[in-house]
Each structure stands twice: as C-alpha cells, then as structure tokens.
Amino acid sequence: MIRNLAARTFLTLCLTLTMAAGAQAFDLAQLSQQLREPAVIRGQFVQQKHLRALPLPLVSRGQFVLAREHGLLWSLQQPLQQDYRISGSGIAQRTPSGWESTDQQPAAARQNQLFLAVLGGDAEALQRDFQLDLLGTAEDWTLTLTPRSKLLQQIFSAIHIQGGATARRIELLETQGDSTLLLLESTEVDDQLSAVEQHDFTH
C-alpha cells in the first residue's frame, strides 16, 4: 500500500510539473507581443563586425531609439559620428541640410529590415523568410532564424537573437564567413518620444 501511495504521489508530481511546464511555455506569439508592447526603447549599442581578412573586429558604438510607430534612430558615436534613421521606407542619413535617403546594397538593406522586424517583434514578417526556433522563457529567450529563400541563404547562414523584455544580443552569421555581433545595452522603456526624437522621425 505504501508502495502504491508513493507511486501515485510520484505520478501526481510528474503530472503537476508537466502541466506547469505547459502553462508556462513561451511561444512566438508571446514573444512577438512582448517585443511590441514598449512604445519607445532607448539604449546604447556596441557593434562588432568580424571580417575574415582582419585579425580584430571593427567596433562601433552609439545610441539608439526604437519607436513602435516610426522606426529606428541609430546614432553612431565611435569611431565617427553619424546619425541614421531606419524605417519601412528605407534608410536616411542626417546631413547639414537635413535627412537624406541613402542608396544601399541589397544585403545591407535586408539586414536593416531584419533589425526592424526583430527589434519590433514582427514574427509574421520574419516567418516569411526564415524558419524560427525559440527556446527559453519570457525573461531569457533565444531565437534562431534559419533562411528559407535562396537569396537569403546566399547572405546569411543563421541569425541568433537573445533577450528578455527586449532584445539584448543579435548575431548575424554570413555564408562567406563574416559575422556581425550587436549588443544592446542600458535599455530603457518609455511610453512616448521626446520632442527632439519626434522631430527626427517626422521631418
């Protein structure tokens, strides 16, 4: 009888743990919703570009502002100073006379679109071109993107994104052996843009 009671207790415990794990399962829909919630995210970035021809990575630093309704302000501060605005309509660069659209190579344009989709939690857009594999919890997750199309397979072998409430680490592995590691640090969430940021997005 004691043995049967112990067996039933063990079975009940297993079922309870299984149900708890199922209830807490973190899926793509939840991740997408989580990343879409903040209206504004500000922070600092460190980007490391690893090129096969160079022994050390090319490192750049700066600040960013991601606005759910507008896009991304990317302010490069080191090794040089330059401001970029990335939106669904393309990339603009700040000049003395204002924002001017830039011409981009297809690979660079695709990479910027990916940044917007990843940072903005647009899983639907990502699933059109990638197989998505998600592991972890809402507080600590890893998303792996594997290209589906022939075009993207010629550019990327895989993309790995890690984060919690927001994305923290993005690594792009290129088929030719180069890679880019983007670290998003000191991120803060806000419900509105500053007056200066609003102007930069709309003018």
Distance (Å, rounded) from C-alpha 47 to C-alpha 190? Answer: 23
Over residues 75-110, the pLDDT tens digits come to: 999 999 999 998 877 889 999 988 988 876 666 666
Q: Hey, what CATH class is 27-202 in?
A: mainly beta
pLDDT score of 111 = 67
Per DSSP bridges, beta strands 40-50 and 58-67 are antiparallel
Sequence spans of domains, the chain: 27-202
Over the chain, what is the mean pLDDT? Answer: 83
pLDDT score of 80 = 92
Distance (Å, rounded) from C-alpha 120 to C-alpha 142? Answer: 16
pLDDT score of 78 = 94
Over residues 177-187, the pLDDT tens digits come to: 999 999 999 99
Residue 122, burial from CB neighbour count under 10 angstroms (0-12, 13-18, 19+): middle
Distance (Å, rounded) from C-alpha 2 to C-alpha 178? Answer: 62
The low-confidence residues of the chain, meaning pLDDT below 50, are 1-23
In order of 28, 40, 58, 134, the CA distances from 35 in angstroms are 11, 11, 29, 14
